[in-house]
Chain A
């Protein structure tokens, strides 16, 4: 066992625990699951400390391990998600308001389309406050949508890589990103309107 690592690992938790936990909380649902993944990350780091070459910061290295743990979690759970599962139903629940039938089918229901944000009370909000809100909105997405969306838009990973990681097709990815964005838009609008 590497002596340096041995001396330092208990500091890891104090130093990087919250950052890893925040990373996980945006991408999976439930504190307990997020805590477990953080613990698994530290354990894997401890076992594989000789793989840490110091090319990146320790934090970046730990985040990389956690990122793979999160992907593993979704790959495992995908095998158990049935066509009628609650998670899947929640992912599929439409959030935008379109007419279901008639000549206007597929068009916005009058008054239920996107609001003019420049007229909402929230338009005065500072950028940092909007960012805090978008963080809360991402944390409110169904887990898989949040994981895919953050991988794409926060980590800025390319689509091909994401599809490989999550074992999904590109068209599947696009559909899920569309659902994620539709929900985020609605969530942010509610905040700005003061409905939340």
Chain B
């Protein structure tokens, strides 16, 4: 690889860099040069374009996610907690 190409490779962000920057751009406004780097990369890289679209899709899904994910405390665990509370409350009453 000649010098000019090595410099080019250094200047051009990799998909690995870009995926990290795409994620960051969801958390805070990225710098202007970064914004331009991402935009230029996405023009030529369909894999990273998909990556971006999918992260956005995930963010949308998650923001509507309810915390009621359907996990259930078993009866045993419930009884255990109740009796702990009972002990605590009678100790507190004395």
Q: Which residues of A contact B82 (CB under 8 A)?
A: 10, 13
A178 touches B63 (CB 8 A): no
**Are A13 and B92 in contact, CB atoms less than 8 angstroms apart?**
no
* CB atoms of B85 and A26 under 8 A apart: no
Assuming A17-B78, A43-B88, A154-B63, what are 4 further A-B pairs, CB within 8 angstroms?
A10-B86, A98-B14, A107-B15, A177-B23
Compute how far the CA of A13 lies from the CA of B74 in the bound complex, rounded to whole angstroms. 11
Residues of A at the B interface (CB closer than 8 Å) are 1, 6, 9-10, 12-14, 17-19, 21-23, 25-26, 34-35, 38-39, 42-43, 46-47, 63, 96, 98, 103, 105-108, 113-117, 127, 130-131, 134-135, 138-139, 149, 152-154, 156, 159, 170, 173-175, 177-178, 181-182, 184-185, 188-189
Given A39-B80, A46-B85, A159-B27: A98 and B68 interface contact (C-beta under 8 Å): no
The size of the chain B interface, using a CB distance under 8 A, is 47
Residues of B near A189 (CB, < 8 A) are 54
Q: Are B19 and A156 in contact (CB under 8 A)?
A: no
Which A-chain residue is minimally distant from B55 (CB atoms)?
A181
Q: Is the CB of A174 within 8 A of B24?
A: yes
A103 to B14, CA, bound (A): 11
What's the Cα separation between A19 and B28 when bound, in Å? 31
